[in-house]
A = this chain, B = another copy of it.
């Protein structure tokens, strides 16, 4: 199933700069956006996202990610699942390895909703 980003992604929000300040969010909108922020709101998951997003080709193998943390393999797998379930990561299994790719469109929409640097 695809990720419902309708709240975030319409072209008019691309006009940029704190739609948060553009008008009160509806309860429904808030309840759709909060889970995305919650998925990002953890130091480990933030680092995972930045590691993946900044990796060559915009994707990274789990095997590389495990080594970057002082955490157990199941814990990393758990965080990756949360990010994937939230729609912030795409998953691609190739042979024995699994590659995750950052959904930059989702990140951009989220960032735009929170606030952009004032032109």
Copies in the complex: 2
23 A-B residue pairs with Cβ-Cβ distance under 8 Å, sorted by A, are A16-B117, A17-B108, A18-B107, A20-B46, A21-B53, A21-B54, A22-B54, A23-B54, A24-B47, A24-B51, A30-B46, A31-B43, A33-B43, A33-B46, A34-B46, A38-B38, A38-B41, A40-B114, A104-B118, A108-B116, A109-B115, A110-B115, A111-B113
15 extra A-B contacts, CB within 8 A, seeds A21-B50, A27-B43, A111-B114 = A16-B117, A17-B108, A20-B50, A21-B54, A21-B104, A24-B50, A30-B50, A34-B42, A35-B41, A37-B46, A104-B118, A108-B116, A111-B111, A111-B115, A111-B116
